[in-house]
Amino acid sequence: GIADARIILLRAEQHFGLGEGELAKLQRGDSRRAAIGWAIHRQTCTPLSWIAEQLNLSSAANASQQIRRFDDRKTGRLPTEERTWKKLML
């Protein structure tokens, strides 16, 4: 699961135009972190604690909440970058 999660992290960095290490430095409230966490959670069996640590989401509970909120948002209301990411990862 973690190996697959790392691949998704690399794809996310490319998709969102982030350099190595920039992912963890995204500002609090940046919805790209939730979008990436959503993809990892959806496609792997990686623990939420690992996702939270990699994306700087404070805790597993916060990661779960952010992922759920991202999943609940209608695709049309997402920023273009995140909309294409969600379609790509479905």
Q: 31-75 pLDDT, tens per residue?
A: 899 999 999 999 999 999 999 999 988 899 999 999 999 998 887
63 alpha-carbon distance from chain centroid: 9
Structure confidence at residue 78 (pLDDT): 86
pLDDT of 85: 92
pTM over 0.85: yes
